[in-house]
Amino acid sequence: MAHEPFIARGFRRRSPETAEAHRLPPGQYETKDFPVLSAGPTPRTPLSSWDFTIRDVDGRSARWSWDAFQALPRDTPTVDIHCVTKWSKFGTKWEGVSVDTLLAAAASEGVASGPFLLASCDGGYTTNLSLADVTGGKAWVVFGHDGAALPPEHGGPARLLVPHLYFWKSAKWVRGLEFLRSDRPGFWEQLGYHGRGDPWREQRYHGDP
Ligand SMILES: Nc1nc2c(c(=O)[nH]1)N[C@H]1C(S)=C(S)[C@@H](COP(=O)(O)O)O[C@H]1N2
Ligand SMILES: [Mo]
């Protein structure tokens, strides 16, 4: 605006003292939009055939139908998200089940834990995660966004939400988590993206620190 002092706008955008600057990882910019980034077509799995499975290295598994999944205790995380294509979105609101809750329920059914996991999805997308990155209140399987059902283009009926890592780790249309004996790169990781993807360390590509 013509009457807004130029100096104030510059200050807000650049000063490391502002709250916004502290929320923005290096090399990112804030957007108010919610871009859609999908490597393929949007799958449409009916809820009647949807399930979620956690499997261990010996093939033991725990499985939830959609209704059983809905009956699990829920969280409503509000988090900032960071895409490796450099947009970040602040204060996104979700509803779902924490991975802590899911892994505890799986353990009670005899599913053994392990240090590495691979998330798998309708459509064939995969992404690898360490156990440490999905436990301790840091990751969820979400089915609600902004007070409504998660739209298909954003991963509905359910997606992974791992907001402290780049958003490619938040697998859309997720259907399961599989424990692995050793870390195995997923879809983007095989194509040259970083194995972990911490936005605060700018772990964008394979070989970044
Ligand atoms: N199944 C699946 N999950 C995915 C992707 C994908 O192509 N397929 N893209 C990833 C990438 S690169 C990003 S940035 C986010 C984008 O989520 P959004 O479309 O809801 O913004 O989903 C991630 N999860
Ligand atoms: Mo992305």
pLDDT of residue 21: 72
Phi, psi torsion values for 46, nearest 5 degrees: -65, 145
pLDDT of residue 3: 45
pLDDT of residue 60: 98
Atom of ligand 1 nearest to the CA of 173: 1
**pTM reported for the whole predicted model:** 0.92
Q: Is residue 7 part of a domain?
A: no
Look at residue 1 and tell me if it is in a domain: no
Q: Which atom of ligand 1 is nearest to the CA of 84?
A: 14
Is 4 contained in some domain? no
Q: Pull the structure tokens for residue 101.
A: 């809750």
- pLDDT at residue 19, rounded to an integer: 65
Give the pLDDT confidence score for residue 48 in this predicted structure. 98
Question: Which of 44, 168, 175 has the most ligand 1 atoms within 8 A of CB, as the residue to mutate?
Answer: 168
Please report, for the domain that includes residue 65, its CATH number. Answer: 3.90.420.10
The answer to the question of residue 3 being in a domain is no
> 53 alpha carbon to ligand 2 midpoint, in Å?
25
1-25 tens-digit pLDDT: 344 444 444 445 544 456 677 899 9
> What's the helix, strand, coil split of the chain in %, to 5?
25, 30, 45
Domain count, the chain: 1
Amino acid identity for residue 156 in this structure: G
**Residue 8 included in any domain:** no
The verdict on residue 206 lying in a domain is no
Of 36, 38, 145, 169, which is best to mutate to test ligand 1, by the most ligand atoms within 8 angstroms of its C-beta? 38
Q: Is residue 13 part of a domain?
A: no
Per the structure, the complete domain to which residue 96 belongs is given by: 18-201
Residue 65 located in a structural domain: yes
Question: d(Cα 48, Cα 130) in Å, to the nearest integer?
Answer: 30
Tell me, in angstroms, the distance from the centre of ligand 1 to residue 17's CA.
Answer: 32
Environment class of residue 161 by beta-carbon count within 10 Å: exposed (0-12), middle (13-18) or buried (19+)?
Answer: buried
Q: Residue-wise pLDDT tens for the chain (209 aa)?
A: 344 444 444 445 544 456 677 899 999 999 999 999 999 999 999 999 999 999 999 999 999 999 999 999 999 999 999 999 999 999 999 999 999 999 999 999 999 999 999 999 999 999 999 999 999 999 999 999 999 999 999 999 999 999 999 999 999 999 999 999 999 999 999 999 999 999 999 999 999 99
Q: CA quadruple 185, 123, 141, 33: dihedral positive or negative? A: positive
Q: Could you say which DSSP state residue 208 is in? A: -
Give residue 198's pLDDT: 98
